[in-house]
Amino acid sequence: MTIVFIGIVVLGLALTAGAARLGSALVARARADAAADAAALAAADMLALGRGAEAAATAARETAAANGGTLVECQCAGRDALVVVEVAASGILAPPAEGRARAEVRME
């Protein structure tokens, strides 16, 4: 009887740990997506103001950092800004989450 009880407790702990890791990954992914959206909009703003690709990349980097992320890639040219942002996930052995976003400058 005690062995069955110990097995149930171990199984319950394993399921709880798995659910916590999944929850942490989902939160990190949402944070990465939000940081990428903000970074892409900041980059597109610089492109719309005619400040060029370097200013757009700088704005994207600063905005990603302000949102807890790291800018991994920024393809900012012409009227398009495509960014990739990475956010560290909390938890043991949790890989970083990646978010991608694209913003387009439209002059209407």
Transcribe 51-104 into DSSP letters: -HHHHHHHHHHHHHHHTT-EEEEEEEETTEEEEEEEEPPPSTTPPPEEEEEEEE
Percent of the chain with pLDDT over 70: 100
Q: Which residues pair with 76 in a beta bridge?
A: 81
pLDDT at 41 over 90: yes
Number of domains in the chain: 1
Task: Give the predicted TM-score (pTM) of the model.
Answer: 0.81
Host domain of residue 52: 2-104
Residue 74 token pair: 């920024």
| 69 vs 50: CA distance, rounded Å | 26
pLDDT-derived band at 20, boundaries 50, 70, 90 = confident
Whether the CB-CB separation of 60 and 52 falls below 8 Å is answered with no
pLDDT at 65 over 90: yes
